[in-house]
Structure 1
Amino acid sequence: MGGILNHRIGSASGAGPARDVRPGTSPTSAKELSRAVQAKLADESRSAARMREFVFTDADFEKIRKLIYQHAGISLAPVKQDMVYSRLARRLRARGDKTFAEYLARLEKDAAEWETFVNSLTTNLTSFYRESHHFDILAEHLVKRSATKPLRIWCAAASTGEEPYSIAITACEALRTLSPAVEIWASDIDTNVLAHGQQGVYSMDRIERMSRERVERFFLRGKGDRQGFAKVRPELQKLIRFLRINLLDRDWGLNGQFDAIFCRNVMIYFDKPTQYQILKRFVPLLKPDGLLFAGHSESFMHASDLLRSRGRTVYERADASRS
């Protein structure tokens, strides 16, 4: 939205010369600008709707918002309507449904399609060593706790595997062995990305930001028809267990406590009450001196009774003793 205000905008009807809008605009001009922006957005929305293959009503979108919130805790903003249409229209084509109403009516009776529905609406942006400072902190944490065996880490939003493998590499480097006493649980709600992570195969452009030494030590380069790809070494794969977990499920199927939990760039999709309930369940799963790693845009100030910030989006239990 902010970018729209920097454009040269004509009258709402499209007639008349374009004019610059600068600070100090009068209230009347500001109102005109607001109407022009709203008209422009409405025109774009109507234009997009005319180009759609399937009828997609506001009621359809609201039902989808309700279903994905109830099933996965994801809060879809109104601006996500076009994204939702684009992703789910593929499902209508694949199933032969004629309308979104037909698809949604059948969805509630089809367990397999429920899984695909959730997979379609989840976002899986990830990379190796994303927010790299967290892995420096993790390495120091693991060295301090190296007497604990095994060290247990839960990656609660594993996506296609880059994050849990980054954790595994960090553990190997910090503890100076390819077979560290570390157990890593890598979970996600999306079964498609979990399958990718289990395979551990990535295009070379996914790992090119890592040092050559790190790539040579922890990856096997593909040959022949696999050229341009690399596979994670078996030693790393042995450290990780991939499993499906919906953070809204009553039972996560996890036993014992963890030395660290990574739940990064996930909470931004939940509203504050849902965030709080999930964080409340994280706390007893963290060891007294365990660490919770969050995404760079996430803040848990609303859960200060549960977690205490250590800075750089790293948290500890609020009842933990200061080290």
Structure 2
Amino acid sequence: MRKYIPTLILVLLFAGGLGYAVSQNWFGEETEPPAAKLTDVETSKIAGIRIANGDLTYQLVKTGGEWAFTEPDKYPVNHYAVDAWLDTLTSAEQGGVVEEAPADPAKYGLDLTKKGITLTQENGAVVTLAIGDPLPTGSGNYARLGGGAVIRLDANAASSLLPSITTWVDTSPFQWDDADLKELAYKRGSASWTLKNSAAAGASPAWTLDGKAIEDVQATTVSGSLKYIASDRLPVKASTLASAETDFTLKLVTAEDGADKTRSFTGKKDPDVDTLVWVTREGSEWAYAVKPEDLQKAETQTAATGTGTDSGAQDGSGK
């Protein structure tokens, strides 16, 4: 064994030296430079966002630190989605250059009016990003920042930077914080239930469903069965449904600023589409589309707690 020790030492020294040489790039190998950011615009300085995505163009402006839709209507804004989009914008990277000075950008499908982003900064400066056809490899899209070179843009980034309008519109029909919840009273056809929290302010919740005590987790399930119903359609003006037939009612009581506040939600049957119910919130100009099967699922989840009813025996008062 001893006779191999010198050889083993030489091998270890060689391996260590080789590793050091590689780390110092002694062999003159080219290293790929870090990818450049797609844009260096500061999101805090952006005052307007205009997105063209096929047949639809929509625009938001920021006033007093808050985003608001201006086109195609003054829809309520999903601020979390807009913030996430701004993060995507600032983290997106440029791919390689396809053509430095394109004489005919249209051959790459680059048309800002059909697919692209226009950013207006607080000082009035405008930044544009046109997103074109997919690359032949399918790994990305052609893109062009302002009047610069045609570049490659990662396919996921290209898709994320052109969200559908429903991504940015707040389409949540029901909104409340369970920490403030005092009562939910639901009535739809033969299904009715009342969820209550009778605890005093600051005390641990004391939940009942139709007068029977339930655990916190059950109360969260009942509340969430409605609260987390999502709409995949743009809202419409509630005034257009004034004469529509009522499908359900929901009374909401929350504790706010030391006092109970009561609001109401009303479901209106779509006059033309049997598979839609439009939820109107008291004090809101918008109505939100939900599917009857989602409401039925919420009713089933409530009944599954063992105290909810769908027999019509309860009148929604909890008695």
TM-score (norm 2): 0.27
The TM-score normalised by the length of structure 1 is: 0.27
Structure with higher strand content? 2
* Higher gyration radius (CA): 2
Answer 1 or 2: which has greater helix percent: 1
